[in-house]
Amino acid sequence: MTKQQDLVIRPLIPKAHIEGHRPSCRTAYSFNLTPGVGRTHGESIEAEWAHSGGTTSSTREMGPAARHAALDDHWGW
């Protein structure tokens, strides 16, 4: 098991957004050039946020517990 002090979190730029950055950023923050990342596009969270956009209007006026339950139901947790 990895110890917490051995964990390195490295910021990367998702593939759909990286072309808008300078070449030096593309090299430093590319998913394709980062060891251990595998083949991913890094856009999964964007797709989920797009899918969940409708929940804001239905949960806006809920209390914290009801909102939490509604979002759990939405995402299937």
**pLDDT tens-digit series, residues 20-73:** 899 999 999 998 888 888 787 777 777 777 777 778 888 989 999 999 999 898
- Quick: pLDDT tens for 1-28: 556 677 788 899 888 888 889 999 999 9
The answer to whether position 2 is within a domain reads no
Residue 65 included in any domain: yes
Specify the number of domains making up the chain: 1
In this structure, the number of other CB atoms found within 10 A of the CB of residue 2 comes to: 7
Look at residue 17 and tell me if it is in a domain. yes
Question: Is residue 55 a contact partner of residue 74, using CB atoms and an 8 Å limit?
Answer: yes
Question: Has residue 68 been placed in a domain?
Answer: yes
Asked if residue 28 is part of any domain, the answer here is yes
Nearest-angstrom CA–CA distance, 54 and 10:
31
- Give the domain range for residue 59: 10-75
Determine which helix (DSSP H) or strand (DSSP E) holds 48, and give its type and residue range.
Answer: helix 44-52
Q: Is residue 3 part of a domain?
A: no
DSSP per position, 50-75 = HHHTTHHHHHTTS-HHHHHHHHHHHH
